[in-house]
């Protein structure tokens, strides 16, 4: 089975993004874009930022009715 890949151009450079085996394509693309836009970011930091934004989106889209300390 062939893997689907996305080819993108950013600042005149071409990048090929190949999704990981058990990772959603949307997640792979967002993490790759973070790393393409900011080359100094590591993959661990990119994953951390991805999950932080995902958690904040979930809080907005699916609010909890429990009282949380923030």
Domain layout of the chain by residue ranges: 24-64
The pLDDT of residue 32 is: 92
Give the predicted TM-score (pTM) of the model: 0.71
Alpha helices in 10-42 (DSSP H): 25-37
pLDDT tens for 24-66 read 888 998 999 999 999 999 999 999 999 999 988 888 888 776 6
The pLDDT of residue 60 is: 80
Rounded distance, CA 21 to CA 56, Å? 26
17: confidence class by pLDDT, cuts 50, 70, 90 = confident
Structure-token pair, residue 3: 């893997």
Rounded to a whole number of angstroms, the distance between the first and last alpha carbons of the chain is 46
What values do phi and psi take at 5, rounded to 5?
A: -130, 155
């Amino acid at each position: 089975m062939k893997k689907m890949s996305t080819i993108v151009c950013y600042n005149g450079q071409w990048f090929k993004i190949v999704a990981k085996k058990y990772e959603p394509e949307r997640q792979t693309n967002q993490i790759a874009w973070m790393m393409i836009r900011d080359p100094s970011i590591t993959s661990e930091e990119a994953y951390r930022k991805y999950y932080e934004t995902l958690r904040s989106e979930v809080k907005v889209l699916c609010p909890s009715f429990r009282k949380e300390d923030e």
